[in-house]
Chains A and B, each alone.
Chain A
Amino acid sequence: MSDTLIAVEKLDKTFGARWALRGISFRVMPSDIVALVGPNGAGKTTLLRALTTLARPNAGKIFIGKIPLLQHANAARAALGFVGHQTFMYDDLTAFENLTFYARLYDLPDATARIHTVAQRVGIAHRLNDVTRTLSRGLQQRLTIARMLLHEPAVLLLDEPYTGLDKVAADLLDAMMLDAKSEGRAVLFSTHDLERGLAIADRAIIMKNGRIVHDLPRADWRDLAGFMQIYAEVLGDK
């Protein structure tokens, strides 16, 4: 367990009578970039929300590093960074005020310097004093990524992070994930953009109907076409 940054064991989650996650187990090591793929309703978002404590599993265990997530949620949250479907930003505050607010929630020292550093890194430094509602979807997504990086988390979780990003911003996001890899962080992201996602992933987890049906290291697929063949079989398209 010591080297593992994410450990999930026999995770179950139901919504009423419907299984959203069933017997999910996997591990993510430092410097791993893992792509989570699968059709709509496969359970990718629910899995990521369970990992962030936003959804409570019915059964199973989650460890972030050595921290049991369900028992010590706040300690685990401090080690997690999450980009979800929503920006989590306050429309009426400026980008800087939003980041300052989150820096204070994380009780970060030198918040202002850190805000300027991450804003520079994601390319929104020139718009920090703009009210968030006036930013485009793509710039808001960059701001969300800045919020995720603010406290330098060991584990980055991203749910459809390419949504709304132009090519420059998507390239920036890829570079950010590769930087995280080189810094020894773990990255787990869901995507429907297989071409872009698989280009940087070390591993791909394919989900369907709340289960992991394949957990493939990069060596197991030759190229995108090779992966698509496996993926099509899983989806029953072949």
Chain B
Amino acid sequence: MKFIRQVSAIVQKDLAAELRTKENLSAMVVFALLVLVIFNFAFELQGLDIRALGAGVLWVAFTFSGILGLGRSFAAEKDKGSLEGVLLSPVDRGAVFLGKAASNFIFISVMEATTLPLFAILNNANLPWFPLIPYIVLGTLGFAGMGTLLSAVAASTKMREVMLPILLFPVSVPLLMAAVNLTKGALQDRDFADIANWFNILIVYDVIFLVIAFLVFEYVVEE
């Protein structure tokens, strides 16, 4: 119970700080909306096009906008030394990871929840919310988890803004391939059996990388 209370304290702290400033979320949402608008003008997505290209457009918006948020996740803590304050406390490092990952998952999910309706409006599309939302949630889970770990790594380097995408994109390739293919399957109204392999890959990625990130986080944040 103590572990859960500590995770919850970290999440509530991040949410309270974000609700007061809205710096992170507003930047992420504006960036994602810009990506959608640019793609809309570039491809004039309509009808069948959204079935072919929509998944890619959505995940480009989610990924790049998500990286904006993830980059800020530990940078602010390092700049103010507040991460050291957390590390001075008798808190399991796994609780710190889970707290930060949960905060990042919430921020990215809010950005996605704002982006999806606009995507539907811009493209005059009737989105299949089920199973689209579960696929996006699973993709976001792995992305936020791995992104949280690598954000902590990048925050310790001098070129942290550049380092995060360099570290995160190669590791995220299997996750993004699975998420894009599942999203495309949902937009094309395909049978689940046709895309079940991608679903399995996504689940396995989420489990493996969340466990790895949970276990190695201690070595990333401590000297």
Contact = CB atoms under 8 A, between A and B. Distances in A.
B85 A89 contact: yes
Contacts of A52: 88
Interface in B27-59: none
A106 B222 contact: no
A209 interface: no
B9 A54 contact: no
B89 A53 contact: no
A54 B87 contact: yes
Nearest to B13: A101
Given A90-B17, A147-B85, A78 B90 contact: yes
Contact of A105 (B17, B89, B223): B89
A235 to B, nearest CB: 29
A33 interface: no
B85 A53 contact: no
Contact of B6 (A89, A93, A105): A105
A102 B8 CA distance: 12
B21 interface: yes
A107 interface: yes
Contacts of B10: 105
A58 to B, nearest CB: 11
Nearest to A50: B223
A165 interface: no
A130 interface: no
Q: What's the dominant secondary structure at chain B's contact region?
A: helix
Contacts of A105: 6, 9-10, 86, 89-91
A7 B87 CA distance: 22
A104 B88 contact: no
B189 interface: no
A104 B89 CA distance: 10
Contacts of A107: 2, 5-6, 90
A102 B89 contact: yes
A91 B80 contact: yes
A75 interface: yes
Nearest to B222: A56
Contacts of B222: 53, 56
A101 B223 CA distance: 24
A84 B82 CA distance: 11
A102 B82 CA distance: 11
A82 interface: yes
A228 interface: no
A77 B88 CA distance: 6
B6 A90 contact: no
Interface string B94-126: 000000000000000000000000000000000
B16 interface: yes
B21 A77 contact: no
A84 B8 CA distance: 26
Contacts of A97: 13, 16
Contacts of B81: 84-88
Nearest to A104: B9
A213 interface: no
Interface string A192-229: 00000000000000000000000000000000000000
A80 B16 CA distance: 27
A92 interface: yes
B89 A106 contact: yes
A102 B12 CA distance: 12
A87 B92 CA distance: 22
B158 interface: no
B6 A104 contact: yes
A8 to B, nearest CB: 18
Contacts of B91: 74, 105
A175 interface: no
B85, B86, B223: most-surrounded residue (chain A CB, <10 A): B85
Nearest to A79: B90
9 contacts: A52-B88, A54-B84, A56-B222, A87-B80, A88-B80, A90-B80, A92-B21, A101-B12, A107-B6
Given A74-B90, A74-B92, A86-B81, 13 more contacts: A54-B84, A56-B222, A78-B90, A80-B88, A84-B81, A88-B81, A88-B85, A89-B82, A89-B85, A101-B12, A102-B89, A104-B9, A131-B20
